[in-house]
Structure formats: C-alpha cells, structure tokens
Structure 1
Amino acid sequence: MPLVSTAELVTEARAAARAVAAFNVITVEHAEAIAAGAEAAGAGAVLQVSENAVKFHGGDLAPIAAATAAVARASTARLSLHLDHVEDVALLHAAHAHGFGSVMFDASKRGYGENVKATAEAVRWGHERGMWVEAELGRVGGKAGEPPLDAHTPGVRTDPAEAAAYVGDTGVDALAVAVGSSHAMTERTAALDHALISRLSGAVPVPLVLHGSSGVPDRELRRAVAAGMTKINVGTALNTAFTGAVRAFLQAHPQAVDPRRYLAPAREAMARTVAGFLRTVSG
C-alpha cells in the first residue's frame, strides 16, 4: 500500500476522538514488526526514525529510511513515515528527500525564546515542502545522556497558556507536551496529569502528542486519549519485547549463532506489543 501521511492519520484519529500510535524504528525487524502489528490490529500506525537511530546507523539517513519505507509500502496497513526528535537542522533538511512526510523538530532543550525561533524556522521550511511538523514544549526527559527529571519540578510540565502562545508563534501542526510520562521507562508505572491534558487540549488548536508512552499503563493511555491526546509515541516497549525474546532464546539455545533464529521471535514479540498498543489507543 502507498505510504499515507502522518497528517492524515492524526487528523482522522482526532476527528474520531481516538489516537494513532507512533512506533520507533531502529532495525528492519522493528519496521516489519510494526507493520505486522498494525495489520493484526486492523489499524494505521506511524513508523518513526529518530535522530539517535540515524546516528546508530552511521549518521546516514538513506538506508534505514529506504528500508522502513519499503516495509511500509509492502504492508496492507495504512502506515506513515516520520522523522523523530530531530535537533540537527541538516538532518531536518534531509527528511523530505528521503520520503518523510512529517518530522518532530526538537528544540525543547533550548530556552523558550530560542525554542520558538528555531522551531518557527523549521516549520516554515517544512511547510514550504508540504511537511507536517511536530515540536515539544516542556521537558519529557529520560532520553540517553540526559539527567533524570522529576515530572513534578516547576517548569518541566507544559503550561497551557505558554503552549497556546508557542503554537501561535511557531505554527506547529502538533505539540508534544510534558504531562507526567518519561522516555525510556521499562515498567508501565507512569501516572499522567489528566486534568493538565484537558487544559492543554482546550488551550491549543493542534493535536497533542504523548512521548514516553512505553511507561504508561493501558488505563492511563485510554484516559489520556479521552482527555485529548491524539498521537501516542512508543519506543522502549518494543525494545523490551525484542531483548526479552532474544535473551530467552539464547538462554534456551546457548550454542545458537544464526541471528535469524532469535530475531524471528524478537520480531514476533514486538509485533504483539505493537498490536496491543494500537488496540488500546485506536479502538
């Protein structure tokens, strides 16, 4: 099936008061698992490649982008291609040429004024090329190399009034907000601020995005969607499933050397995880 746009998936989900899940791609097996999980759940999904994943592949966007796009086009599910957590402007500028219809430009580590300036320029550049642009306000935290953040620290969670001004000043198409989740959580114990989600949803005219959703229990995700979250980002949960399946296989078969033997169950485990998240947020 031809690639669909993230904008189309998000717009449809928002109109139906549900959400679309976006899953991080690191290897080809991740992309294949996302496609299989989406097919099993009968739902569309976003395949997103992060700047960190590009660095893992030697800094060259082309190979992982081509592989991910090929997997998506071979699938019967409606899938889009998204470039996630981009801080490098050169990588942002490579996105369109490699088939990405959307990008999350991340200037959240900068001061508010610099965030607005850099994001507005990224939005201008993206919109000139028909790209959908997401940004972040507040600090979700938890990514590799970052100090741990307390979600209750003043200035960490997203302020609704500031969010409204930010969206107006930058022209972003979607806004990732800090409401109690954190990147890289391996246990699903996060408690979200649902009242804040509702206030943010009422304050800004664009869809809200929840980063760090791997650590959020299903019941919390359903409440978040009901309160106004439209795009739900999932990464670590796939890696947890992948690594658990590989570890279990190698413990049972310590002499195995053919990676296909342990990558197959790893891919299957990720596909089940994808289907589970999709049924939770898009049902």
Structure 2
Amino acid sequence: MPLVPTSSVVEAAREARIGAAAFNIIHLETAEALVTAAERTGAPLILQISENCIRYHGGLLPLTRAALALAEGSTARIAVHLDHLTDAELVRQGIAAGVGSVMVDASALPYEENVATTAELTAWCHERGAYVEAELGEVGGKDGVHAPGVRTKPDEALAFVRATRVDALAVAVGSSHAMHERTAVLDKDLIAALRSTLPVPLVLHGSSGVPDDELRRAIAAGMTKINISTHLVSVFTGSIRRTLEAHPSLVDSRKYVKPAREAVAEEAARLLGVLTTPATVADRLAARASAQG
C-alpha cells in the first residue's frame, strides 16, 4: 500500500473523536512489530523515529528508509513521522527522504526564538507538502513544560499556532516522557478547553505513563494524536530478559529477539484497540460536563 500521509490519519481520527496512534520505533524489529500490529487490527498507525534514535543509528537514512519500505509494503495504512527534531538539517533530510511529517522541536529555546524557528521550518515544510507538529516548551522528563503541575494555557497555545502555522500542537496536560509506571492523571478540563480553542489537533506526548481508561477519557475530551514509546520499549526488553533467564545459553540473537518482537506486536495491537475504539456516549457526556464545571 502506498505510504499514507500523517495528516490523513490525524484528521480522520480528530473527526471521528478517536485516537491517532503514533508509536516510536528504535530499530527494525520494533518497526516490524508495529506494522504487524496495524495489519492484525486494521487500524492506521504512525511510525515515529526520534532524533535520539537517528543519532543512535548514526544518521537519518538507514532506519528511515527501512520504515518507509515497511510502510509501503504493508497492507495497513502506515505513515512515517520524525519526532522531536531539534536539528533543522534533519528536517530537510527527512522530507527529502520521503517522510511526510515532522515534529519541529524548538521548545528549549526562548519563546520568541521558538516561534521564529518553528515558523520558518513550518513554511519550508508546507512548501513541500509536509505536515508539521510542534510544542511551546520542553516535555517532562527533560525538565520542561510537562513536569508535574505545568500546563499549556489555551490563549498562549492559540497565539503560538497562529504565529507558526503548525498543523498540530503537543500540549502539556499532565503526562511526562519516559514514565515506567502507567499512573499519570490528565487534566481533562484543560484538554476540552484546548480542543475548543485551537484550530489544530492536540498531541499527547509521554502517553506511556497514562493508563488505558485515562487515555480513553483524554480522547473523549479532545485529544487526538497519542504518542507512545517507553511502554513498548519496556515490553520488548522485558521479553528478552525473560527469554534469556529461561535459556541462558542462547547466543543466536534471533532466538530471543523474535519473541520480543511478537510481544510488542501483541501489546501494540491491544493499544490500537484502546485508542481507536470510539468513546461511549457516557464518556463524552462526562467529559463535556467536566469541561462545563
């Protein structure tokens, strides 16, 4: 199937009030597992490659080309997205390689510089038909705006979107990067307020720390793109640990990576079900009542 634009996955999810699943890959095996999950469930999926992952592989092209090849060869609707790019050159390389969307991450810069950098790169990407996500400040786990108690203000978010013309915005509503326990409680009132204020889809970073029911409530309140990385990495690593503990003499990495790949495929398929099942009427009414106080 031809590569699917990220914009079509996100906009369709926003209209249907379901989640657009965006799962990070760290190597070929996790990419294969996630594509398998999408094929098993029939749900669309955004494969994400972070700047940290690009650095790990020594450059953008090796894993990016592999992800694009998997997407194009899959029977599922797969998009490929570059996540948390702080280097403008990587943005340009990614678009040239065929990636349809990027997250421009200038969040560590002072606000005015963030706006200027994001606006410039967004204009460049739009000229080439690419979709752009951004955020106002750093995400938790990086001593940033998603640290406990910090929240995105709707009026500031609207000003940022208007100034930069980005297509989607990552917002701070109570999640944090790199959480190993799924205990986060999100601010559903704020999500609803942001949804009603902003003309672009909302993106939840740090979703690994958010339990299933809380993710459903967040989507019902107005969240759209749901990024998950650490949780699936933990599933992969946990499987490898169990296999090697049970079979300490194994030396062929395929013998322990294969079950880990399957474990990720199973959990990713389960999460796709959580994110893409429409919220019940009760969920929506509860979210609306909460937003109205």
TM-score by length of 2: 0.92
Superposed structure 1 runs of 4+ greater than 4 Å apart: 146-149
Return the letter of the residue paired with 1:95. Answer: G
The range that moved more, 63-72 or 43-52, is: 63-72
Establish whether residue 30 from structure 1 lines up as the match of residue 27 from structure 2.
no
Partner of 2:136: 137
CA positional deviation for 1:147: 7.7
Residue pairs, 1:72-87, within 5 angstroms: 72-87=71-86
8 Å CA contact 2:23–2:46 kept in 1: the answer is yes
Establish whether residue 49 from structure 1 lines up as the match of residue 46 from structure 2.
no
Matched residues, number: 277
8 Å CA contact 1:138–1:157 kept in 2: the answer is no
Return the letter of the residue paired with 1:134. Answer: E
Q: Percent identity?
A: 56
SS in 1 for 2:224: strand
Residue pairs, 1:138-157, within 5 angstroms: 138-143=137-142, 150-152=147-149, 156-157=150-151
CA positional deviation for 1:17: 1.1
Return the letter of the residue paired with 1:131. Answer: A
- Unpaired runs of 5+ residues, structure 1, are none
8 Å CA contact 1:177–1:210 kept in 2: the answer is yes
SS in 2 for 1:133: strand
Residue pairs, 1:162-173, within 5 angstroms: 162-173=156-167
Measured against aligned partners, the alpha-carbon deviations of 1:149-191 in whole angstroms (never above 9, x if no partner) come to 6321xxx321100001000000000000011001111110000
Give the whole-Å Cα distance in 2 for the aligned partners of 1:96 and 1:139.
24
Give the whole-Å Cα distance in 2 for the aligned partners of 1:7 and 1:276.
23
Residue pairs, 1:53-68, within 5 angstroms: 53-58=53-58, 60-68=59-67
Partner of 1:111: 110
Give the whole-Å Cα distance in 2 for the aligned partners of 1:63 and 1:264.
21
Partner of 1:124: 123
Residue pairs, 1:157-196, within 5 angstroms: 157-196=151-190
Q: CA RMSD in A?
A: 1.3
Residue pairs, 1:229-248, within 5 angstroms: 229-248=223-242
Give the whole-Å Cα distance in 2 for the aligned partners of 1:266 and 1:170.
41
Give the whole-Å Cα distance in 2 for the aligned partners of 1:147 and 1:119.
18
Partner of 1:207: 201
Give the whole-Å Cα distance in 2 for the aligned partners of 1:246 and 1:169.
46
SS in 2 for 1:229: coil
Give the whole-Å Cα distance in 2 for the aligned partners of 1:147 and 1:116.
17
8 Å CA contact 1:151–1:180 kept in 2: the answer is yes
